[in-house]
Structure 1
Amino acid sequence: MLPQLLIKMSQIIKIQYQIIVYLLGVLFGKSLTDWDDEEPMNQSYQKLQVDELPVIETLPRLDYHQLLVEYEQQHGKPLKPIKRHANTKTTVPDALTCPQCQAPSAYVYANNGGKGQYQCKVCRCRFNPRSRFAKQVIFRCPHCLKALEKIKERNDYYIHKCKNDDCSFYQANLRRMTPQEKEQFQHAPYAFKVRYLYREFLFDFKPLAPSSPIKTKVDVSRLSVSSHTLGLILTYHVNYGLSARKTASIMKDVHGLSISHQTVINYANSVALIVQPFVDRFPYELSGSFCGDETYIRVKGRWHYLFFMFDAVKKVVLSYRISPNRDTFSAIRAIDDVLKKLPSIPEDLSFVVDGNPIYLLAQHFFAQHGISFDVRQVIGLTNDDPVSEEYRPLKQIIERFNRTFKGNYRPTHGFGAEEGSVSFVTLFVAYFNFLRPHSALEKRVPVVIPALESLPHMPARWAKLIVMAQEMLTQQAAS
């Protein structure tokens, strides 16, 4: 009896310990155990197929004032507003207007007994308030020109489907099926993608839009620390990946300077605000071999996704977006960061990424805005297809970069605020692009700046990089 009781008590204590650790992590915003080494479960992606763009038919916008004038000229009398029955049970909202001619509710019928459909007396347009967009633009299948039907609503887009059974696209996919697939299709049609689909993106984002000037409120000259000391702190904290507490300790034990770990964090946040515009807007010389990947960091006790875009030849980090979601919009913004750094969009532009379908959706989004590029997806760990076999070396390069970043990130055990995560990643990218020698480049830094290369040690280079970033901000403010 006693051993069973001890086992039961031990299980209860373990559960209580896990609950306490979790609550402390939520309270302090970072994990207090070694569980940070674990990563979210990686699941295999379903193969996404993206169809070509639809035929977009824009309906003409009518003016009900002009239509009323034409009606009176044609019939010799004005078109009267609707006279509703006094005891009618169906009502038309006063704010409702016709989506095609903008006629007010006085000219709108409740067309199907209050079930949601209305009809305009002026232009005869039938509509439903929940699908007013359908009266502004019509998406048609490029194969049969039938109007597409909205079937699903996602967070970032609507899915429209061609339901025409005589569509050539649908019939061709049916003919390609093997007898076994046809039999399976009869029982589970949802397992096959045979009809034309189009995704209408909802977010308001314009590719290659010029960035607004960045005005930082931080002035490093007002920090109560010398440029050499600031360079030392950044060297320990960023270059060698020491935590803020260890950086503060080494400044005390080795250099005799007593500072707190919070001071280290404050200095890092301040410098990151100044350096970020310099990193993002530097005129890089790029090779055109671009690859992308996501890795994980903890922010406020939760996993966030860090999207890297990388020049595999020049070893330059081109995008470093942090997002709480692994979604299409994050992939779009990461790719847009790369496109902004190109003098022009080459015809053979391509990105090597993993099998996550968000990159294909991002490609589809840019295609809708007239920007074309290829997406080469390296899927899994084995070369099961020709694309994976050809482009896996590029994918392995950015995975190696991810391991380098994780080596610097791991001592932090996550971040208690989004500001801290952005600052850390920004400083790491600045270090990687401008200060860190790379073995594949014969021990040269990816971006060679003579003013930095001639300096004798790393703290001086950090100080000079900060000065150059400040000068760029000053020139930007003056222009």
Structure 2
Amino acid sequence: MAIIPLNVVCPRCFSKNLYRFGKDNEGFQKYQCKQCKRQFAPDNPSFNMRSRRQRKYPDCPACGKSTFLHHDYTYYSNFRCSDKKCNHSFKVPKLINVKLPSSEFKPQNFSFKGMRHPLFIVLCALNYYFCDNSTTRKVAQTLYMVHQVKVSHVTISKWVKRFAPIFKMIADDRLSKINLCDSDEWHFDETYIKISGKDYYLWLALDAETRLVLDFHLSPNRDSNSAHALLANCRRKFGQPRYAVISDRYYAYQQPASLFFPQVEHIRVEDFDDLINNNVLEAFNGQFKAWYKPKRGFNSFESANRIIATYIFFYNFIRPHSSLNGLTPAQVAGIEYSEKERLFWLLVA
């Protein structure tokens, strides 16, 4: 009985249960695996060159065998093991920069030139619009009834869009000075709005302890690219929470959560009655929808993006919350300012 060398193993399944299988065309000894039926000639130099040849795709992390490209996305690729018994699926991120979310719009030059009404009236109109569930027509009516000032609803709409970059600059400057890494959980969710009769998706991130809206992203698609944009910007601006990031069971959150928050747990909520749930962000969605529905949608993507950014500024910095003992989320997050300073911020804007 011929003895098979101990260093000869099957290159496919790494089994040593082999038997001799004659010679190949070049006269080298061949072997065949009794388990997977693989034939090979380890002494043949051409076989060694093939075995050392680098594979096109990464090896399977479960069994070490070859893989194939299952799905190719913008920011990552999904591979699957070629062995049907293993059938392991894994994701590999691509080394490319993630695009910024829609909340990072470019600020524009601002001046009071051409404004026919005093700043006090403008700020009153903005407070009526963002702190109440009012339309621009109702705000114009309120200004006339309370302040005896006639303003067109079109003018109020222009004020909302015109002041959005200023409020964004104030928010970015204040939020860059706080530390939210001590928070236990960050929540992520998405909801839909109407822009020119079409569905768009508003992606939101919120801190559980302070109720502070960390960031948002407005997108026409509900896909992984939008989730990557939101989570990557939250990591860049605020770091990561101590324990967990929480989302629903939508698949788009899986890869960006593991990529940008590798040291914390990603909890995917299954039911509203779970001990750990996404109700904090769902409550914000309810407030936003109550404010949004009287508007009956937006006319353009740019105006919707600016109006939502200003609404989030009023939510974070201006409007006090009863669940936070009459404080704003920004004050709970560590930004100290008095009532006079809060009004002064509006005047500076």
Q: Which category of TM-score, normalised to the shorter sequence, fits these structures?
A: 0.7 to 0.9
2:161 equivalent to 1:161: no
Match of 1:148 in 2: 67
1:363 aligns with 2:257: yes
CA drift of 1:432 comes to 1.0
Q: What secondary structure sits across from 1:402 in the alignment?
A: helix
1:325 to 221, 236, 254: 221
User: How far does residue 337 in structure 1 lie from its aligned partner after superposition?
Assistant: 2.9
| Partner AA of 2:249 in structure 1 | G
Runs (5+) with no aligned partner, structure 2: 1-48
* Corresponding residue for residue 464 of structure 1: 345
Distance 1:451 1:222 in 2: 32
Matched, 1:431 2:323: no
Q: Secondary structure at the match of 2:64?
A: coil
* C-alpha distance in structure 2 between counterparts of 1:213 and 1:297, whole Å: 19
Over 3 Å counting, the alpha-carbon distance change for 1:354 and 1:233 in structure 2 is: same
Q: Separation in 1 of the partners of 2:179 and 2:74? A: 37
Judge which range, 419-428 or 285-294, deviates more.
285-294
Gaps of 5+ in 1: 1-123, 126-133, 171-194, 383-388, 470-479
Q: Does the 8 A contact of 1:269 with 1:419 survive in 2?
A: no
Give SS of 1:307's match: strand
Tell me the residue number matched to 1:47.
none
More helix per residue: 1 or 2? 1
Normalising by structure 1, what TM-score? Answer: 0.54
Deviation sequence 1:94-134 (CA, Å, 0-9, x none): xxxxxxxxxxxxxxxxxxxxxxxxxxxxxx99xxxxxxxx9
**What is the aligned-residue RMSD (CA, Å)?**
3.2
Alignment partner, residue 374 of structure 1:
265
Q: 1:162 to 1:422 in 2, by over 3 A?
A: same
User: Residue 178 of structure 2 corresponds to which residue in structure 1?
Assistant: 284
Distance 2:178 2:164 in 1: 19
Instruction: Please point out which of 245, 253, 276 is paired with 1:351.
Output: 245
Q: Partners in 1 of 2:200 and 2:104 — Cα distance?
A: 26
Instruction: Please tell me whether the aligned partners of residues 123 and 346 of structure 2 are also in contact (alpha carbons under 8 angstroms).
Output: no
Q: 2:38 matched to which residue of 1?
A: none
- AA of the residue aligned to 2:186: F
Task: Point out which structure has higher relative CO (alpha carbons under 8 A, 6+ apart).
Answer: 1
- The CA deviation at 1:227 is 1.6
Contact 1:288/1:349, CA 8 A, preserved across alignment:
yes
Counterparts of 1:71-470 in structure 2, within 5 Å, are 138-153=57-72, 157-165=76-84, 170=86, 195-200=87-92, 204-206=96-98, 214-220=106-112, 223-281=115-173, 282=175, 283-286=177-180, 287-342=183-238, 344-345=239-240, 348-366=242-260, 371-382=262-273, 389-392=274-277, 395-448=278-331, 451=337, 453-454=339-340, 461=343, 464-465=345-346, 467=348
> Retained in 2: the 8 A contact 1:284–1:447?
no
Instruction: Give the strand-richer structure, 1 or 2.
Output: 2
Equivalent pair of 2:201/2:219 in contact (CA under 8 Å):
yes
Specify the SS of the correspondent of 1:139. coil
User: Contact (CA 8 Å) 1:252, 1:258: kept in 2 or not?
Assistant: yes
Partner amino acid, structure 2, of 1:242: S
Greater shift, 404-413 or 198-207, is seen at 198-207
Alpha-carbon contact 2:57-2:69 (below 8 Å) kept: no
How many Å apart are 1:403 and its aligned residue? 0.8
Task: After TM superposition, give the deviation of residue 208 of structure 1 in Å.
Answer: 10
Displacement, 1:239?
0.8
- TM-score, structure 2 normalization: 0.73
Q: Is the 8 A contact 2:232 2:256 kept in 1?
A: no
1:7-86 equivalences under 5 Å are none
Q: CA deviation at 1:242?
A: 1.1
Amino acid at match of 1:453: E
Give the partner amino acid of 2:128: Y
Q: Which moved more, 1:330-339 or 1:134-143?
A: 134-143
Alignment coverage as a number of residue pairs: 291
SS in 2 for 1:341: helix
Distance 1:226 1:285 in 2: 37
Letter of the structure 2 residue corresponding to residue 350 of structure 1: A
Shift of 1:426: 1.0
Q: How many percent of aligned residue pairs carry the same amino acid?
A: 24
Give the Cα–Cα distance (whole angstroms) in 1 for the partners of residues 232 and 94 of structure 2.
Answer: 17
